[in-house]
Amino acid sequence: MIPAPFDYEVAESAEHAIALLGEREDAKLLAGGHSLLPAMKLRLARPSVLVDIGRLAELSYVRDEGEYVAIGALTRHRDVHHDPLLQEHCPVVSFAAGTIGDPQVRHRGTIGGTLAYGDPASDLPAVMLALDAELVVRGQGGERMVPASEFFTGVFQTAIASAEMLVEVRVPKRAAAGWSYTKMTRRAQDWATVAVAAIVERTNGAVGKASIGLTNMGATPLRASAAEDALAGGATIAEAAALIPDGTDPSTDYAASADFRRHLAKVLGRRALEEAVAR
């Protein structure tokens, strides 16, 4: 309940935040605080200084950029959930954001925070992976673009280097695609036991090409490539769903054993694909 002692700085701009981050090795950005503060209260995280970016209005936006929709890193889950632009062009993103935690969590938590934290049980990472989103990371030397497929590197690990911050997420428009985010939780506010994001191009009402993202099936969010390939090769949804656990390495914890997670991934995957085709 009581974190270890830490210093606190308020960032006035993204540049200021990055400069402050560079000053102390174990500095951490504080966005919505809904992952970081619980970890600090359990003394699992002990940053010596928090750089508060929570007030950077300049990084809270959703913009139409033609091919893609740009989401500022400080945009709250609640705003992602309700954004009309996302609802129109990237409905799976706004839907998945609406399944995060509870209203309190969604009003505080940010899209940048949830992606930067690298928790494989979080929802938006798998969605971004399935959508082939790109993440804009800024450091003292400028910005670089990281594809979602290269961003998540391990449990609580990402491609963000120590004095960098995530500033924007670019989500390709997929208004025509069928989609689903099918999530199973123990209680409403819990993290997914397993969840499956499915984005489907339809040909004659059947699955043509699908991207499948998996939440909580390994150290990072994963793509179910074997199932995707099978679908591309003409397999039925049921056949493809059976392949979803291939290449995953889920953990055993309070919510489920690894084996049961593999089973759930098949069932939820099948349901997600069926829903995506129909929607």
Partner 1 sequence: MAVIETRETFVGTSVKRREDASFLTGRATFIDNLTLPGTVYMAVVRCPYPHARIASVNLDAARAAEGVVAAFSGADLAEDWKGSLPCAWAVTEDIKMPPHFPLAVEEARHQGDGVAVVIAESRALAKDAAELVEVDYEALDATADVERALEDGAPLVHADLGTNECYVWKLETDGVQAALDAADVVVTRRYVQPRLIPNAMEPRGVLAQVGPTGEATIWSSTQVPHILRFALQIVLGIPEAKIRVIAPDVGGGFGSKLDVYAEEALVIALAKRLGRPVKWTEERSENYVATIHGRDTVHELTFAATKDGKITVVKSEAKCAMGAYLQLVTPGIPLLGAWIYNGPYDIPNYSVTFTGVFTHTTPTDAYRGAGRPEATYVLERTMDALAAELGIDPIELRRRNFITEYPAELASGLTIDSGDYHASLDRLLELLDLDSIRSEQTARREGGDTKLLGVGFSTYNEMCGLAPSRILGAIRYAVGGWDSATIRVQPLGSVQVVTGTSPHGQGHETSWSQIVGDQLGVALADIEVLHGDTAVSQLGMDTYGSRSLAVGGVALVHASAKIVDKARQIVSHQLEVSADDLEFADGTFRVKGSPEREMTIQAAAFQAHSAHNLPDGMEPGLEATATYDPPNFSWPGGAHAAVVEVDTETGDTRLVRYVAVDDVGAAVNPMIVEGQVHGGITQGIAAALWEEAVYDEDANLLTTTMTTYLVPTAAELPSFETDLTETRSPTNPLGVKGVGETGTIASAPAVINAVVDALSHLGVTDMQMPATPERVWRAIQEVKA
Ligand X SMILES: Cc1cc2nc3c(=O)[nH]c(=O)nc-3n(C[C@H](O)[C@H](O)[C@H](O)COP(=O)(O)OP(=O)(O)OC[C@H]3O[C@@H](n4cnc5c(N)ncnc54)[C@H](O)[C@@H]3O)c2cc1C
Joined together, the tokens standing for residue 175 give 């208004």
User: What's the closest the beta carbon of residue 116 comes to ligand X, in angstroms?
Assistant: 3
Question: Scanning residues 236 to 265, which ones bind partner 1 (CB under 8 A)?
Answer: 253-254, 256-257, 260, 263-264
Q: Which amino acid appears at position 182 of this protein? A: T
E strand or H helix that includes residue 161: none
Joined together, the tokens standing for residue 186 give 């123990």
Question: Scanning residues 112 to 141, which ones bind ligand X (CB under 6 A)?
Answer: 112-114, 116-117, 122-123
Judge contact between 169 and 133, C-beta under 8 A. Answer: yes
Contacts with ligand X, 6-45, as mask; x by CB under 6 A: ----------------------xxxxxxxxx-x-------
User: What's the closest the beta carbon of residue 188 comes to partner 1, in angstroms?
Assistant: 4
Binding segment toward ligand X, per CB under 6 A, in 99-107, 204-212, 244-252, 257-265 = 99-107
Under the binding rule (CB under 6 A), the answer on residue 101 touching ligand X is: yes
Judge contact between 215 and 256, C-beta under 8 A. Answer: no
Judge contact between 172 and 68, C-beta under 8 A. Answer: yes
Task: Please give the Cα distance from 258 to 261 (Å, whole number).
Answer: 5
The one among 4, 145, 175, 232 contacting partner 1 by CB under 8 A:
4
Q: Binding partner of residue 260 among ligand X, partner 1, none, CB under 5 to 8 Å per kind?
A: partner 1
Q: Binding partner of residue 15 among ligand X, partner 1, none, CB under 5 to 8 Å per kind?
A: none
Binding segment toward partner 1, per CB under 8 A, in 2-10, 53-61, 88-96, 202-210 = 2-10
Q: Of 59, 17, 32, nearest to 162 (Cα)?
A: 17
* Distant-in-sequence, close-in-space partners of 101: CB < 8 Å, separation ≥ 6: 34, 77, 109, 189
Q: Would you say 39 or 219 has its CB closer to partner 1?
A: 39
Task: Please give the Cα distance from 269 to 273 (Å, whole number).
Answer: 6
The one among 39, 267, 275, 279 contacting partner 1 by CB under 8 A:
267
Binding segment toward partner 1, per CB under 8 A, in 6-14, 90-98, 182-190, 212-220 = 182-190
Backbone angles phi, psi at 272, to 5 degrees: -65, -45
Under the binding rule (CB under 8 A), the answer on residue 5 touching partner 1 is: yes
Q: Would you say 108 or 174 has its CB closer to ligand X?
A: 108
Continuous H helices in 58-122: 77-82, 84-89, 91-97, 103-108, 111-117
E strand or H helix that includes residue 69: strand 68-72
Task: Please give the Cα distance from 125 to 118 (Å, whole number).
Answer: 8
Residues that bind partner 1 (CB under 8 A): 1-2, 4-5, 42-43, 102, 184, 186-190, 193, 253-254, 256-257, 260, 263-264, 267-268
Residues that bind ligand X (CB under 6 A): 28-36, 38, 73, 100-101, 105, 108-110, 112-114, 116-117, 122-123, 160, 165-166, 189, 191
